[in-house]
Amino acid sequence: MAVALRVARWIVPAAILALAAVLRLWSLGHPDSLVFDELYYVRDAISQLAHGYPTVWPDDDPAFDGNRALMFGDTASTIAHPPLGKWLIGFGVLFAGADSGWGWRVAVALAGVATVAATMRLATLLTRSTWVAWIAGLMLAIDGIHIVLSRVALLDGLLALFIVLGALCTVRDQLGMSQGSAPTRVRWARPWLVAAAVMFGAAASIKWSGLYAFAAFLVLITLSDFVRRANSAQDRELARAQRPILGTVAQAGSTALIALPVAAVSYLVTWIGWIVSPGGQYRSEGTPWWESLWAWHANALSWHSSLDAPHPYQAHPLSWPLGLRPTAMFFERSDTHTAVISPIPNVLVTWAGVLALVWLGWILVRACALAIRQRSTLPLGTRGVWVGAIVLTGYLSGWVPWLLTWSRPAVFQFYAVVLTPFAALALGLALAALAGAPRATFMSDAAGMRLDPTPASAQGRRLAVAIFVSVAVILSVLFWPLWAGIPVEHWFYRWHLWLPGW
């Protein structure tokens, strides 16, 4: 039995990653023309490889075969996002060629598979439960939104990877901070905080929205430190000696002095091509590069904040968690067949993920209420609450900031791909706790769930979880052609349009 478990710990994750790879890499070269915003990012990536910065192209024809993949000019083009995402797309082009959909999509597809692996690793660190990790990884592997954003050369799938990696490094840092004696002094040796700052800096150098996650996790680090210090003070005398508030402020200052410069350097490094090549946007002879870079950021910030370009597929952020208005990125119709690429959600994964997130929110609210009523230890000090806080921080940092800019019209459903790893984690926690999986019951205890311990009841819950997972996998098989642009008969396409916004 022990041997079988050890083998399963290798085989099951490998099978999940193999499934994730198949769903993201199979027929990746179809269609063989640029779709949606690939028109901008792929062309920017290729010209950036040649010049160190993006340059203009002669037209907006999405055809990209033969010599068209090398028709960029020498004049700098207008760019709306930092360069790292386009560098990564460009590395895929170097690997597989510029005239193939494989070439310009493979980097994003591999990043999608890596995100599944990072999510499973994050689940293992948080819970030490292989079942939570396996379920979370499988749910992300078959998530329709994540699959589609791993199959098109846009920036958001890459952004999701670096945010998960930043969260993973943050958890490693916090696990190290929680070990040892009571926190009575400021700690400076924090290599995993440095790694987290590198990852969040890289996320911001793909899209500025990566800064939201960075800020949110820095706040969570500070709250966690305060809880550790306050809970370690067992009486008033010790509390006065340790001064948890002052200690937290000092440690927060240390965290900022470590993380902020590292993240800034990580961000700046991705601009090297633009810095050493004087022809980039806003570069002018005789002007230092840092002044030109500042001008780019000021103008880009002004452009993003004043963007007013209504789009038929714009989606209010309130609709993102349920996937009510997916962005059709490719549509082709013949007399007999329809081909479409649209991040239509796997409703079981997406909608149940929202319920699981609400459940985690309930755990935090319940813990706060109990702590206030009983004047007991602060809530983040309990394991289930801390795990829930990590997952909710990752999810809400990718969603709430967009709710605060609700008046901006040019926002799309596919931005929600950064939410999918954390929704999968929440779902993994909920399903594993419901099934009574080893090392997952602490979540049901944190929620105050009183599960019937009798063998018949436990077996029934496990069967229900198995049925849920099986149906979710079947749904992914049925929806995959619409996620991959595979031509299907008209009736098959119409059968998948369950909601008016789809």
Q: How many domains would you assign to the chain?
A: 1
Flag whether 308 is in a domain: no
Q: What is the pLDDT of residue 236?
A: 47
Q: What is the pLDDT of residue 235?
A: 46
CA-only gyration radius of the chain, Å: 24
Write out residues in the chain with pLDDT < 50, as ranges: 235-236
Closest CA to 354 of 384, 385, 320, 314: 320
Query: What DSSP element (H or E) covers 350?
Result: helix 347-374
pTM equals: 0.94
Phi/psi of residue 176, nearest 5 degrees: -70, -35
In the chain, the amino acid numbered 369 is A
Is residue 451 within 8 Å of 457, Cβ to Cβ? Answer: yes
> Is the N-terminal amide bond of 31 cis, ω within 30° of 0?
yes
Is residue 344 within 8 Å of 482, Cβ to Cβ? Answer: yes
Flag whether 502 is in a domain: no
Flag whether 282 is in a domain: yes
Which residues is 339 bridged to in the sheet?
332
Q: How far out from the chain centre does Cα 480 lie?
A: 21
Q: E-assigned strands of 18-112? A: none
Give the burial class of 10: count Cβ atoms within 10 A of its Cβ; 0-12 exposed, 13-18 middle, 19 or more buried. exposed
What domain range includes position 407?
2-292+326-495
Q: What is the pLDDT of residue 143?
A: 97
Flag whether 300 is in a domain: no
Q: What is the pLDDT of residue 312?
A: 78
Distance CA 423, CA 395 (A): 7
Distance CA 423, CA 418 (A): 10
Q: What is the pLDDT of residues 67-104, one digit of tens each?
A: 888 888 888 888 889 999 999 999 999 988 888 899 99
From first CA to last CA, the distance across the chain in angstroms is 47
In the chain, the amino acid numbered 410 is A
Flag whether 319 is in a domain: no
Query: What DSSP element (H or E) covers 228?
Result: helix 210-232
Q: What is the pLDDT of residues 313-347, one digit of tens each?
A: 888 899 999 999 999 999 999 999 999 999 999 99
Q: Per the structure block, which two tokens stand in for 467?
A: 């049925």
Flag whether 481 is in a domain: yes
Distance CA 149, CA 144 (A): 9
Flag whether 317 is in a domain: no
Flag whether 316 is in a domain: no
